[in-house]
A and B are shown apart, each in its own frame.
Chain A
Amino acid sequence: MKNKKRPLRWVRLDNAAKIYPAAIKRNWSNVFRQSMTLCEEVDAEILKSALDITVKRFPTIAARLRRGVFWYYLEQVEKAPRIRDEKSYPICFMSKDEMRKCAFRVIVYKERIAVEFFHSLTDGTGAMIFLKTLVAEYLEQKYNIEIPCENGILDRREKPKPEEIEDSFLKYAGKVAASRKDTNAWAMSGSIQTDGFLNLTCFTMPVKDALDLAHKYNVTLTVFISAVMMKALINLQNEKNPDITKHKRVKILIPVNLRSLFESKTLRNFAMFTVPEIDPRMGEFDFSEICKIIHHKMGLEVTPKNMASVIATNVNDEKNLLLRIVPLPIKNIVMKAVFNSVGEKKSCLSLSNLGAVKLPEIMMEYVKRIDFILGVQAAAPYNCGVISFKDTLYVNFIRNIKEPDLERHFFAVLREMGARVTVESNRNERC
């Protein structure tokens, strides 16, 4: 009897993912990285074997980007991609050619396992589930231990569930569409690294110290870090242009995990954002004022009803018949033009906090550190990923310009508060 091959699974891009392939530029694509640093050097052979098993469980993440006539779509990869060596900087450019073969990378460096995802595949939460599951499978194979399927680790023997593959945006779109009207933000600038090098600066500090400081201002850790960033941006703009009357709005894009607001188990994109802002022309803002502004803005906007209306705005565009029947190349031109003129001008940078990562007890002793790094924006030179694991908070700044001005101001704000911050970077030979 002939062994019949199962057809590869394919899915339409989810609502948030649709813009990313159209927005790709000659040297920029929307990619982010998550990594786990283990206590021992990684065995690439065992990792390859673990990856082969893991990819089957995640058909929408272990996927490649394909072109249809009207839309892009994702197709499950036949086999796991090869494991790559680390380069001198994270999130090297992922070309469309590469995405056509596989839209994620697995990279090994000493004790670190890193996975870089094209954002159309999944968001930070989905990516973390993939990484946890991959590392759990690796540890099981290497140390012959059994890791329970909890804290976001999926059972590799199970088949993918329909609720993990669904586009939750379509399910939870509200009846009323929110307005997209928004003001432009201050655009940071600097000397661009012409060779594509990305400068990574990682601040680490004890989670307890950060939480104590946040509680002092009666806010959450995300609000606290965002406030530090906002203050650093205000100070930086002040340094660049002391004339306060000419200052532009300082705005931070904070992604919101919608799974905490809606019942969803999807492994695909399901995040929206809120953009707190300050107009420095109004006068000097002290730190507690900034905390209050961000806290109240998030309180007002991060609600199921408000988010449903924001989702509805995007979903309505997707359902527009005229937009649907336009062939992909024309759609790409239009979407790219919209992305370039509107997309990233509405905030100075993104600050994404994945929160405290929890792992099963048995896994904790094997994992030393977890990092979350966003790629730079297409137009803005900075981005920032925040994550905490065990007792440490990791704040990863990435930039494609030479000057570390924002990091300097960020540290200065924390230093004034007496925080114990350690810094490390990826540019030992380039200074």
Chain B
Amino acid sequence: MYCINCGVRLCDTEKKCPLCNTVVYHPDIKQKDVTPLYPVNKYPKQKPPSRTFNGAVLFLFLIPVIISFISDMKVNGRVTWFGFVAGAMGLFYVAFALPLWFQKPNPVIFVPVNFGAIAIYLAYINFAINGDWFISFALPVTAGIGLIITTLVTLTRYIKKGWLYIFGGCVIGFGAFMLLVEWLLVLTFGISFYGWSFYPLVAFVLLGGMLIYLGINKSAREIMERKLFF
């Protein structure tokens, strides 16, 4: 049996040519029932993440939390600054230790989860110090940055080409987001509108535009490669 595309002689076990992926098929030749070189669809068990190790990491995180709680209660007789410590430790845990529990942590899920945790922590600080900046400022800013970074991570993870367009688009989006940040600052804290956000907007639009231009123009890309990497 020979591959009709590349001409290599195929073993009877082959259903597709291992060199060019052409399907082995001839209406007049019945394929023999032969044992494949290796068993089909039999894979080694993936080792689950170590529970002992992850438990030890959790314990290490809990030690400063417990010590802070005891100290706060001992000194102040109630929860005061403990909440900030616990929140900060929680943030670190979600960012660095929580993914360890999963065999293949997906950044498309964990990035928004991290921003969700940041939003909750900021909400706690806002309410603990009786601030009124969370809904009107911290939440939309966190959500905006989270949205841009999640979009970037998702697109680069699932689309294998056109990264210059993706990064370019996200950089421009980040520039536009600066306008929103300034407007929210004015709205929340009552400071006057200076228009400083136009400077980063122009810089980010230029940078993002350049990345998109490099994506479109091959010769410009080659010139940049030569200038930057050789």
> Could you tell me the distance between the alpha carbons of A109 and B38 in the complex, rounded to whole angstroms?
8
> Could you tell me the distance between the alpha carbons of A89 and B18 in the complex, rounded to whole angstroms?
14
Is the Cβ of B40 less than 8 Å from the Cβ of A411?
A: no
Is the Cβ of A428 less than 8 Å from the Cβ of B40?
A: yes
Is the Cβ of A88 less than 8 Å from the Cβ of B39?
A: yes
Is the Cβ of B14 less than 8 Å from the Cβ of A423?
A: yes
Please tell me if A14 contacts chain B, counting CB pairs below 8 Å: no
Which residues of A have CB within 8 Å of B35? Answer: 110
Is the Cβ of B47 less than 8 Å from the Cβ of A421?
A: no
Task: Evaluate whether A407 and B16 lie within 8 angstroms (CB atoms) in the complex, with A424-B37, A429-B41 already known.
Answer: no
Which residues of B have CB within 8 Å of A426? Answer: 36-38
Is the Cβ of B9 less than 8 Å from the Cβ of A428?
A: no
A-B contact count (CB 8 A): 85
Q: How far is the CB of B123 from chain A (nearest CB, A)?
A: 37
- Nearest A residue to B12, CB-CB: A424
Which residues of A have CB within 8 Å of B43? Answer: 87-89, 195, 197
- Nearest B residue to A412, CB-CB: B6
Is the Cβ of B36 less than 8 Å from the Cβ of A428?
A: yes
> Could you tell me the distance between the alpha carbons of A89 and B21 in the complex, rounded to whole angstroms?
18
Which residues of B have CB within 8 Å of A408? Answer: 6, 19-20
Task: Evaluate whether A423 and B39 lie within 8 angstroms (CB atoms) in the complex, with A201-B18, A431-B15 already known.
Answer: no
- Nearest B residue to A95, CB-CB: B47
Cross-interface CB contact of B44 among A93, A200, A202, A421, cutoff 8 Å: A93
Q: How many residues of A contact B (CB 8 A)?
A: 33
Is the Cβ of A92 less than 8 Å from the Cβ of B44?
A: yes
Please tell me if A422 contacts chain B, counting CB pairs below 8 Å: yes
- Nearest B residue to A201, CB-CB: B18
Please tell me if A415 contacts chain B, counting CB pairs below 8 Å: yes
Is the Cβ of A87 less than 8 Å from the Cβ of B39?
A: yes
Residues of B at under 8 Å CB distance from A? 6-11, 13-21, 35-44, 47
Which residues of A have CB within 8 Å of B41? Answer: 88, 429
> Could you tell me the distance between the alpha carbons of A92 and B47 in the complex, rounded to whole angstroms?
12
Which residues of B have CB within 8 Å of A424? Answer: 10-11, 13-14, 18, 37
Most chain B beta-carbon neighbours within 10 Å: one of A87, A407, A425, A427: A425
Q: How far is the CB of B92 from chain A (nearest CB, A)?
A: 23
> Could you tell me the distance between the alpha carbons of A429 and B41 in the complex, rounded to whole angstroms?
7
> Could you tell me the distance between the alpha carbons of A412 and B17 in the complex, rounded to whole angstroms?
14
Cross-interface CB contact of A86 among B11, B21, B42, cutoff 8 Å: B42
> Could you tell me the distance between the alpha carbons of A426 and B42 in the complex, rounded to whole angstroms?
11
- Nearest A residue to B15, CB-CB: A428
- Nearest A residue to B11, CB-CB: A424
Interface digits, A378-411 against B, CB 8 Å rule (1 contact, 0 not)?
0000000000000000000000000010011001
Is the Cβ of B38 less than 8 Å from the Cβ of A423?
A: no
Please tell me if A124 contacts chain B, counting CB pairs below 8 Å: no
> Could you tell me the distance between the alpha carbons of A109 and B36 in the complex, rounded to whole angstroms?
10
Which residues of A have CB within 8 Å of B8? Answer: 411, 415, 421-423
Chain B interface SS verdict (over half):
loop
Task: Evaluate whether A427 and B7 lie within 8 angstroms (CB atoms) in the complex, with A88-B38, A202-B37 already known.
Answer: no
Task: Evaluate whether A429 and B10 lie within 8 angstroms (CB atoms) in the complex, with A407-B19, A408-B20 already known.
Answer: no
Which residues of A have CB within 8 Å of B11? Answer: 422-424
Which residues of B have CB within 8 Å of A407? Answer: 18-19
Chain A interface SS verdict (over half):
loop
Which residues of B have CB within 8 Å of A427? Answer: 18
Is the Cβ of B10 less than 8 Å from the Cβ of A423?
A: yes
Which residues of A have CB within 8 Å of B15? Answer: 428, 431
Is the Cβ of B18 less than 8 Å from the Cβ of A422?
A: no
Q: How far is the CB of A367 from chain B (nearest CB, A)?
A: 17
- Nearest B residue to A110, CB-CB: B35
> Could you tell me the distance between the alpha carbons of A405 and B36 in the complex, rounded to whole angstroms?
23
- Nearest A residue to B160, CB-CB: A191
Q: How far is the CB of B207 from chain A (nearest CB, A)?
A: 28
Cross-interface CB contact of B9 among A85, A92, A404, A423, cutoff 8 Å: A423
Which residues of B have CB within 8 Å of A415? Answer: 7-8
Cross-interface CB contact of A404 among B13, B18, B47, cutoff 8 Å: B18
Is the Cβ of A109 less than 8 Å from the Cβ of B47?
A: no
Cross-interface CB contact of B37 among A93, A200, A429, cutoff 8 Å: A200
If A202-B37, A407-B19, A423-B18 are given as contacts, then 19 extra A-B residue pairs at C-beta distance below 8 Å, sorted by A number, are A85-B39, A86-B38, A88-B39, A93-B44, A110-B35, A201-B18, A201-B19, A415-B7, A415-B8, A422-B9, A422-B11, A423-B14, A424-B11, A424-B14, A426-B36, A426-B37, A428-B14, A429-B40, A431-B21
Q: How far is the CB of A421 from chain B (nearest CB, A)?
A: 6
Interface digits, A56-95 against B, CB 8 Å rule (1 contact, 0 not)?
0000000000000000000000000000011111101101
- Nearest B residue to A97, CB-CB: B47
Which residues of A have CB within 8 Å of B37? Answer: 200, 202, 424-426
> Could you tell me the distance between the alpha carbons of A197 and B36 in the complex, rounded to whole angstroms?
16
Please tell me if A420 contacts chain B, counting CB pairs below 8 Å: yes
Which residues of A have CB within 8 Å of B13? Answer: 424, 428
> Could you tell me the distance between the alpha carbons of A201 and B13 in the complex, rounded to whole angstroms?
12
Q: How far is the CB of A358 from chain B (nearest CB, A)?
A: 24
